[in-house]
Amino acid sequence: MTDLAPLIDNLPSLRETVELHGLMAKKALGQNFLLDRNITDKIIRTSLEHQNKQDFRGEYVFEVGPGPGGLTRSVLAHNPECLTVVEMDERCIAIMQEIQQQVGEDKLQIINGDALKQDFTSFSGSPKNVVSNLPYNISVPLLVGWLKEIKHFDSLTLMFQKEVADRICAPAGCKDYGRISILSQLLCKVERLFDINPNCFVPAPKIWSTVILFRPSGLEIDEKTMNNLEKLTTMAFNQRRKMIRQSLKQISDLEKKCAGLDIELTLRAEQITPQQYLQLAKLP
Ligand code: SAM
């Protein structure tokens, strides 16, 4: 099997590529580029180590927003069966085509489109892994979409603004704990890999970023339970300072249900664990 790493090394450096294409970041597309291969390699290497994998051989990888292609190069250097990139910015599509010429169409597929409109589960190939330095303005909707279909994925290695990462990883009882923590922690084993200094990006954002690895917990939530869970957590966290006796009062037989599950009605939204929310959502 061809080793793609030397082919990637034949490309001009990332910074040269950005200069050659005159690629200036567009704020509207959430563009903060990583032009340091040491960092993009560290993201992929650390994620693979946590998954006890040497590389991506035999696996399919999907990258949202490859931009100038730093993370793309690092994924390809770890020899996936195929990498599919989804990018809205046509200027970056031209850069992807140059990489494709090096590695071949069977190794890099390019989709010029909106990641929010893609059904990643319908793409061929398994096991599937997602890797992305996410556009910050759509990071949560993209994550929620993947979480709801997590049984189709082997891993998600995603970079978020640190504040969003704090919410995802927050345990019950913590001020950052909320709906995205509950959904993430029920459906996945969530591992915070490392933080990245704003100075590593071009242009430098005001805030730090954090890389998180999500792997399926194995729990499957049926559609009805998922709808209940979403309603329940929305009600609870819309009035997060109120006791659930008040915030969840729309639920029929609330007192009886909570007593059966040993959940005190005096608790507030952030004091209820993900498992307790799930138990409540499962009740008829
Ligand atoms: N991966 C590159 C890196 O690390 O240097 C770029 C990351 S930048 C934070 C986000 C990328 O997502 C940009 O290239 C942007 O054009 C792209 N993008 C923004 N919105 C998108 C969307 N809805 N669908 C696909 N790509 C999108």
Between CA 29 and CA 66 the distance in angstroms is 12
Residue 224 C-alpha to ligand 1 middle, in angstroms?
33
Determine the pLDDT at residue 218. 96
Look-up: residue for tokens 């990258």? 63
Q: Which of 123, 108, 106, 97 is nearest to 75 (CA)?
A: 108
Neighbouring residues of 174: CB distance < 8 A, sequence distance ≥ 6: 270
Q: Is 3 in the pocket of ligand 1 (CB under 6 A)?
A: no
Amino acid at site 242: K
User: Across residues 84-112, what is the average pLDDT?
Assistant: 97
Of 218, 210, 223, nearest to 188 (Cα)? 218
Indicate the angle between helix axes 274-282 and 179-187, nearest 10 degrees: 80
Nearest CA to ligand 1 atom 12: 65
Q: Cα dihedral angle (44, 49, 54, 55), rounded to 10 degrees?
A: -20
Q: Which residues contact 250 (CB under 8 A, 6 or more apart)?
A: 235
Report the 10 Å Cβ neighbour count for 262.
8
Q: What digits encode the pLDDT tens for the residues 255-268?
A: 999 999 999 999 99
Confidence of residue 100 (pLDDT cuts 50, 70, 90): very high
Distance from C-alpha of 233 to C-alpha of 212, rounded to nearest angstrom: 23
104-120: average pLDDT: 97
In this prediction, residue 231 carries a pLDDT of: 95
The Cβ-side half-sphere exposure at 42, using a 13 Å CA radius, reads 14
284 versus 170: the higher-pLDDT residue is: 170
Q: Alpha-carbon dihedral of residues 199, 201, 203, 209, nearest 10 degrees?
A: -80
Percent of the chain with pLDDT over 90: 96
pLDDT at 284: 82
Please tell me the residue having the least CA distance from ligand 1 atom 14: 67
Distance from Cα 13 to the centre of ligand 1, integer Å: 19
Q: Is 80 in the pocket of ligand 1 (CB under 6 A)?
A: no
- DSSP letter at 75 equals H
How confident is the model over 67-71, as a mean pLDDT? Answer: 98
CA of 75 to the centre of ligand 1 (A): 16
Of 133, 137, 202, the residue with max ligand 1 atoms within 8 A of its CB, to mutate for a pocket test, comes to 133
pLDDT, mean of residues 103-114: 97
Ligand 1 mean position, distance from CA 53 (Å): 26
Mean pLDDT of the chain: 96
42, 84, 88, best to mutate for ligand 1 pocket (most atoms within 8 Å of CB):
88
Ligand 1 within 6 A of CB of 115: yes
172 phi and psi angles, rounded to 5 deg: -55, 145
Which two tokens mark 139? 């990071």
pLDDT over threshold 90, residue 93: yes
- In this predicted structure, the answer to whether residue 1 has a pLDDT above a threshold of 90 is no
Q: Residue 135: CB within 6 Å of ligand 1?
A: yes
Q: How confident is the model at residue 179 (pLDDT cuts 50, 70, 90)?
A: very high
In this structure, the number of other CB atoms found within 10 A of the CB of residue 255 comes to 11
Q: How far is the CA of 229 from the centre of ligand 1 (A)?
A: 30
Residue 216 has pLDDT above 90, yes or no: yes
Per-residue model confidence as pLDDT tens digits over 266-280:
999 999 999 999 999
- Say if strands 128-133 and 108-112 run parallel, antiparallel, or are unpaired: unpaired
pLDDT tens digits, one per residue of 113-151:
999 999 999 999 999 999 999 999 999 999 999 999 999
**How confident is the model over 180-205, as a mean pLDDT?**
97
Q: Is 138 in the pocket of ligand 1 (CB under 6 A)?
A: yes
Pocket test for ligand 1, best of 21, 42, 76, 89 (most atoms within 8 A of CB): 89
Percentage of the chain lying above the pLDDT 70 cut:
100
